[in-house]
């Protein structure tokens, strides 16, 4: 071990998080309708598998693109040879237009300000390298995607300071929470370089409001720091309110000629909206020329293959297809989301009201044996091992309130989702009486303590009055 670097041997990757451990348990015992019907159903993976038929249909109808041909002539050799790490112009143009389409064409994007990366993971890490030195901090609202502990910190040495959000207001970002996080970083002698938000939120499945976006822009303006808006779920919004990009608010509030314009950066990917995480298509969009230049140089460590860029440039340039895909995919997400929410409600479990994403933020606080994170982990283990569902506990997302879980719904068939709901319902029916009994016992003990305390106070008061006499 001494021959290895500190980076190779350090334990800051986050791989031991329950978020990743749940995946490991699933891989040991994966559910299969025929081969392993009692196996673990994967509900911890935010994949969009609902519209593969649309993608496959397009590929079948466009054999030249899939066969690396242009006007019937093979361009295989052209794509197989070295390509500039700036990316194929045709793909960058198609990507920026698709990003505008996702946002209802309310904003437009300049392909010269787009940097291609091998997925959003690479995009976020590259921005950390561009914006922060080792030991500098970014503020993140909780709960947040567990992978950020790896993506933002592991190799860069940057720090994350949580912006604590509460269920009392639907986990919305508040001015006081922002200020508290900023002061907390200062107390820890950390230099705050920016705020990173996911919009729509992973794991909440909610979009940021205009008020929240305006609050964030005001905050970074006052503090002289950056804002990264991770918008990789922007095309998954299936209910009102609609998606509002930070770029839209920047323009509305006339930030174009201010320093804030260059301190806001967007991360995007085709992993969620098109369901193509295996293609490793990510992007950074920035109005800061220096960030674009530095990120472009860094992208040489995580390039997108030319073959992938060519294929997807053809697909995204087909506006008839993209329009149909976006609309149909959102309809399917809405249907699946409703299935899970309704099914869990029948099982006595509520979800945070949401309008986007590939998951629900599930409230199981009433199923905890006690109100702490040890009880949350006990419940999570039962759900993984006994119920056979891999869901992500809120503690892995740095939620400050025990009993919340993220459950994904778009990476499986309807039949599998219905089975997952039935398993959960059976579990609740067998567990709830015990949980309620435990809670009643706790309440009874609390009442007994109150009565004893009251009697003690009464006796003390009576004796005092007797002495006064």
Q: ∠ CA 154-155-156 to the nearest 5 degrees?
A: 100
| Residue that the structure tokens 């305006």 belong to | 214
Instruction: Enumerate the active-site residues.
Output: 145, 230, 232, 272
Contact status, residue 31 vs residue 39, Cβ threshold 8 Å: yes
Contact status, residue 75 vs residue 310, Cβ threshold 8 Å: yes
Q: How far is CA 167 from CA 45, 163, 409, in A?
A: 23, 13, 22
- Name every residue whose Cβ is closer than 8 Å to that of residue 316 and which is 6 or more positions away in sequence: 91, 94, 95, 97, 98, 322
Tokens read off for 449: 């303590």
Which residues in 234-248 are b (16+ Cβ under 10 Å) and which e?
Answer: bbbbbbeeebbbbbb
Quote the CA–CA distance of 142 and 161 in Å, as a whole number.
10
Q: What is the distance in angstroms between the CA of the first residue and the CA of the last residue of the chain?
A: 79
**Residue 136: which region, alpha, beta or left (left: phi > 0; alpha: psi -120 to 50)?**
beta
């Amino acid at each position: 071990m001494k021959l290895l670097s500190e980076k190779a041997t350090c334990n800051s990757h986050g791989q031991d998080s329950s978020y990743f451990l749940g995946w490991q348990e699933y891989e040991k015992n994966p559910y299969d309708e025929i081969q392993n019907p009692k196996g673990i159903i994967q509900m911890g993976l935010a994949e969009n598998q609902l519209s593969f038929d649309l993608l496959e249909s397009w590929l079948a109808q466009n054999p030249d693109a899939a066969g690396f041909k242009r006007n019937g002539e093979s361009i295989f050799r052209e794509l197989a040879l070295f390509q500039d790490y700036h990316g194929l112009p045709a793909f960058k143009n198609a990507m920026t237009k698709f990003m505008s389409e996702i946002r209802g064409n309310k904003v437009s994007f300049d392909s010269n300000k787009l940097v291609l990366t091998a997925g959003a993971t690479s995009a976020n890490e590259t921005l950390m390298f561009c914006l922060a030195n080792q030991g500098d901090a970014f503020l993140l609202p909780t709960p947040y995607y567990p992978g950020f502990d790896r993506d933002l910190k592991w190799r860069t040495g940057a720090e994350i300071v949580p912006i604590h959000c509460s269920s009392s207001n639907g986990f919305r970002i508040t001015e006081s929470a922002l200020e508290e996080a900023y002061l907390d970083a200062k107390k820890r002698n950390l230099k705050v370089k920016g705020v990173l938000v996911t919009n729509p939120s992973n794991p909440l499945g909610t979009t940021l409001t205009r008020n929240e976006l305006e609050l964030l822009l005001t905050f970074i303006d006052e503090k002289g720091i950056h804002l990264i808006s991770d918008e990789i779920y922007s095309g998954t919004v299936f209910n009102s309110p609609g998606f509002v990009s930070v770029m839209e608010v920047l323009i509305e509030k006339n930030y174009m000629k201010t320093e804030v314009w260059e301190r806001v950066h967007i991360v995007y990917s085709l992993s969620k909206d098109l369901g193509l995480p295996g293609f490793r298509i990510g992007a950074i969009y920035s109005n800061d020329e220096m960030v674009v230049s530095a990120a472009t140089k860094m992208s040489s460590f995580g390039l997108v293959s030319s073959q992938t860029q060519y294929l997807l440039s053809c697909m995204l340039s087909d506006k008839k297809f993209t329009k149909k895909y976006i609309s149909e995919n959102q309809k399917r997400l809405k249907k699946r989301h409703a299935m899970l929410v309704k099914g869990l409600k029948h099982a006595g479990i509520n979800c945070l009201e949401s309008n986007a994403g590939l998951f629900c933020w599930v409230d199981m606080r009433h199923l905890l044996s006690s109100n702490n994170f040890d009880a949350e982990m006990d419940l999570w283990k039962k759900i993984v091992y006994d119920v056979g569902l891999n869901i992500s506990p809120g503690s892995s997302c740095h939620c400050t309130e025990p009993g919340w879980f993220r459950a994904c719904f778009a990476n499986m068939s309807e039949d599998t989702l219905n089975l997952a709901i039935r398993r959960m319902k059976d579990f609740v029916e067998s567990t709830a009486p015990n949980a309620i009994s435990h809670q009643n016992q706790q309440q009874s003990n609390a009442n007994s303590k109150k009565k004893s305390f009251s009697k003690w106070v009464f006796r003390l008061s009576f004796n005092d009055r007797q002495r006064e006499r």
